[in-house]
Amino acid sequence: ADAAMYAAKRAGGSAYAFFEAHMNAGVREQIELQRDLRLALERGELLLHYQPKVSAGREVVTGVEALVRWQHPTRGMLGPALFIPVAERFGLISAVGNWVIEEACRQIAAWQEQGLRLRVAVNLSVHQLRQDDFVRRVAATIARAGIDPRQLTFEITESVAMEDAESTLQAFEALCGIGVHLSIDDFGTGYSSLAYLRQLQVGELKIDRSFVQDLESSADARAIVEAVIRLAHALGLKVVAEGVETAAQQDVLTRLQCDDLQGYLFARPMAAERVAEWAVASRRPNQLPFALSTYRP
């Protein structure tokens, strides 16, 4: 019996040691990342790239989405999928998120100085919506930047919006009250009820990339996208398709009356300085590079 117990202990022990080593690797990396992320905020290593959204029919730029990146001193350029979860886990998401909103507002004002009136969409994490003073802070940031709140859109994923329906509803109402636009990101992956969607004062749905990817191969995906577009339009919402990579996808989406398209087919996320250049370079005859390029300050 002693021998058996000894063997089990040893097996358990080594299994645990194995598990611990692996867990430690993951945890160690996360701890290093969160330490570096605190410094990154002070050192100004975060930056925003912007990916245009274009209108399906006329290929006019209707706005851009801000996507955060981290120029890490030793690891190179890191994408949000790597460090946003770390920020959320270690209580840094408000700091990162506030920086993103401030930077986006600053950029809106800078573009405006150059005569470009662009709408900018910013992605929100659920933790930001739960921040007590979130809406007041956003209002203050907008006022400081001296921009029109209607130029700012917040994208919230469908799953986040559904996660805490009551508090989301309150936050959306308050955000709507200060004049910003709201968009449901990655739509189709959650289970929003029609009634709830009507209550949320969103102006836009973004169809998840997974449906766009399957458009050519799957009649089901096409049926879902068609239904979503009809439903959204019936509710007075605009529809954006994300992750458009092929002309065939563009064709289907345009035929289904999708309003705006976004994806590598048109442009990858790019530095702010390149946005204006891109718009001019991609201009087609008889088309304005920006929907509001006639804007005069």
**Which residue of 12, 13, 79, 177 would you call a contact of ligand C2E, by CB under 6 A?**
79
The pair phi, psi for residue 272, each rounded to 5°, is -55, -40
CA gyration radius, the chain: 22
Using rule CB under 6 A, residue 63 touches ligand C2E: no
Out of ligand C2E, Mg ion, none, what residue 56 binds, judged by CB under 5 to 8 A for its kind, is none
Q: How many CA atoms lie within 13 A of 194 on its CB side?
A: 9
Number of residues binding to ligand C2E, judged by CB under 6 A: 22
DSSP H or E stretch at residue 231 = helix 219-234
Please, what is the end-to-end C-alpha distance for the chain in angstroms?
A: 86
Distance CA 220, CA 65 (A): 28
Q: What is the DSSP letter of 247?
A: H
Using rule CB under 6 A, residue 52 touches ligand C2E: no
Distance CA 96, CA 37 (A): 9
The 3-state DSSP class for residue 237 equals coil
CB–CB of 291/60 below 8 Å?
A: yes
User: Quick one: tokens of 291?
Assistant: 């929907």
For tokens 């709507």, the residue is: 176
E strand segments, 45-191: 46-55, 61-72, 76-78, 120-123, 152-157, 181-187
**Which residue of 33, 40, 54, 68 would you call a contact of ligand C2E, by CB under 6 A?**
68
Out of ligand C2E, Mg ion, none, what residue 80 binds, judged by CB under 5 to 8 A for its kind, is ligand C2E
Compose the 164-203 pattern: x for residues touching ligand C2E by CB under 6 A, - for all others. Answer: ---------------------xx-----------------
Shortest Å distance, C-beta 24 to ligand C2E: 26
Out of ligand C2E, Mg ion, none, what residue 19 binds, judged by CB under 5 to 8 A for its kind, is none
Compose the 213-252 pattern: x for residues touching ligand C2E by CB under 6 A, - for all others. Answer: -----------------------------xxxx-------
Of residues 249-288, which lie at the interface with ligand C2E (CB under 6 A)? 263-264, 269
Out of Mg ion, ligand C2E, none, what residue 52 binds, judged by CB under 5 to 8 A for its kind, is none
The strand pair at 76-78 and 61-72 is best described as antiparallel
Using rule CB under 6 A, residue 84 touches ligand C2E: yes
Using rule CB under 5 A, residue 186 touches Mg ion: yes
Shortest Å distance, C-beta 122 to ligand C2E: 6
Q: Which residues sit opposite 111 in a β-bridge?
A: none
Using rule CB under 5 A, residue 242 touches Mg ion: yes
**Which residue of 94, 125, 141, 250 would you call a contact of ligand C2E, by CB under 6 A?**
125
Q: At what angle do helices 247-255 and 219-234 cross, to 10 degrees?
A: 40
Which stretches of the chain bind ligand C2E, using CB under 6 A? 51, 67-68, 79-81, 84, 97, 100, 123-125, 155, 185-186, 242-245, 263-264, 269
